[in-house]
Amino acid sequence: MNQTTHTLDARGLNCPLPILRTKKAIAALSSGEILEITASDPGSVKDLDSFCSQTGHEMVSSEEIEDGFFFRIRKA
């Protein structure tokens, strides 16, 4: 499986921008690739969980970090 990792810095963006940028970034990936997202909007936690549930992408990890939140999503 391809483990290429891409990054998206969504810090400083408020809802719905982090999820919109995530959708755009993940659309450009190949199946199995990982997108790492850093966000500061607390709403992004619920938004990205819902996004993965609705699209079938895998939330590999979701954690709170010093300056916000860090997510790893594997494209379905």
User: Phi/psi of residue 35, each to 5°?
Assistant: -110, 125
- The catalytically annotated residue of 13, 15, 17, 59 is 15
Say whether pLDDT at 61 is over 70: yes
Q: How far is CA 20 from CA 1, 48, 66, in A?
A: 26, 10, 23
pLDDT at 57: 98
pLDDT at 3: 66
Q: How far is CA 25 from CA 33, 34, 52, 66, in A?
A: 11, 10, 14, 24
**Could you report the per-residue pLDDT of 2-53, keeping only the tens digit for each?**
567 899 999 999 999 999 999 999 999 999 999 999 999 999 999 999 999 9
Among this protein's residues, is 15 annotated catalytic?
Answer: yes
Query: For the chain, what are the domain ranges?
Result: 5-74
pLDDT at 8: 98
Amino acid identity for residue 21 in this structure = R
- Residue 35's nearest CA partner among 20, 23, 46 is 23
Query: Does CATH number 3.30.110.40 belong to domain 5-74?
Result: yes
Average pLDDT over residues 50-67: 97
pTM value is 0.93
